[in-house]
Amino acid sequence: MKVLIVDDASFMRMMLRKMIESEGHFVAGEAVDGNDAVAKYSQLRPDLVTMDISMPNKNGIEAVQEIRAIDKAAKILMISAIGQEPMVKAAILGGAYDFIMKPLDEELFKKALDRAARDGR
Amino acid sequence: MNAQHVNAFLEAASHILGMYRFTLTIGKPAVRQTPCTGFEVLTVIGVSGQLRGQVYLGYTKEDALCIVSNMMGGVVVADLDSMAQSAIAEIGNMICGTATIQLSQHGMAVDITPPAVIMGNSVEVARSEKSLIAIPIQMEGLDGMELCLALEG
């Protein structure tokens, strides 16, 4: 599975990359905010996007809406801080596929990756 | 700033650091003029909305390295390089993000800025505004950190 990581924190991008690659998936690219995410999605057309919510310039919810406008089949896994349920709900309504809470539980994240890989695009 | 506001940040710190296997003991709050004096690593997060001001998190360098190590699954972290600084920033982001959500559940609309991490041997923050509340937080086996809240509203 080809994955695009979207997070403004380099530490989170590094941790996500490690977990994604350890499951045998390929990190096609990394984006540092919502604008970057939309541009990289158009360019890379990944099978899955991991999307942070709170980011500068354009947040994850706006990015989900724009990516889904480009590609209705886009599969986006929201990664949110605990307690951001209203924002997660907004993202799901905007077309996000699944969500997982921060701090990341490695096993839960891997299960979410497995679900995404099984479902296909 | 009242006890509900302070508790939101303390509960968030306990929860987030607990996720990384740290057990916290909260010390006695004190009123101060300057935040986190004597700490080598300082995270500053701005707060806006119905609470306004700054949140400071102070760590010794050794504690910061230990926290980053736990965040990375236990790998040894020798330097506070840019990646480690990003991890320390993320801890502050998660703590304050969780606190603001708790506050929102009490009807307060509060937002936070991206964290800034400052490092140095004798960092001192000069503040012209009102006093702040400093809360020492002990963590088992570590030097201990300090949470400072300079908030109005």
Q: Determine, yes or no, domain membership for A33.
A: yes
In terms of CA atoms, which chain A residue is nearest residue B16?
A103
Domain containing residue A105: 6-112
Q: What is the mean pLDDT of residues B133-150?
A: 94
Which domain CATH number covers B83? 3.40.1550.10
DSSP class of B82:
H
CB pairs under 8 A between A and B: 47
Distances (CA, A) of B32 to A1, B35, B59, B150: 53, 7, 17, 10
pLDDT, tens only, A35-94: 999 999 999 999 999 999 888 888 899 999 999 999 999 999 998 775 566 777 787 888
Half-sphere exposure of residue B119, counting CA atoms within 13 Å on the CB side? 14
Complex ipTM value: 0.76
B131 touches chain A (CB under 8 A): no
* A31, part of any domain: yes
Whether chain A has a CB inside 8 Å of the CB on B98: the answer is: yes
Contact status of B90 with chain A (Cβ, < 8 Å): yes
Report yes or no on A121 lying in a domain.
no
- Domain-located, residue A10: yes
Domain that holds residue B131: 3-152
Domain count, chain B: 1
In this complex, do A9 and B90 lie within 8 Å of one another by their Cβ atoms? yes
What's the distance, CA A63 to chain centroid?
10
Q: How many domains does chain A have?
A: 1
pLDDT tens, B103-134? 988 888 888 888 899 999 877 787 766 779 99
Chain B contact probe: residue of A13, A82, A107, A108 with most B CBs at under 10 A? A82
Structure tokens at B124: 């001192």
A11: CATH = 3.40.50.2300
Q: What is the DSSP string of B87-153?
A: HHHHHHHHHHHHHHHHHHTTT--EEEPPPEEEE-SS------S--EEEEEEEETTS--EEEEEEEE-
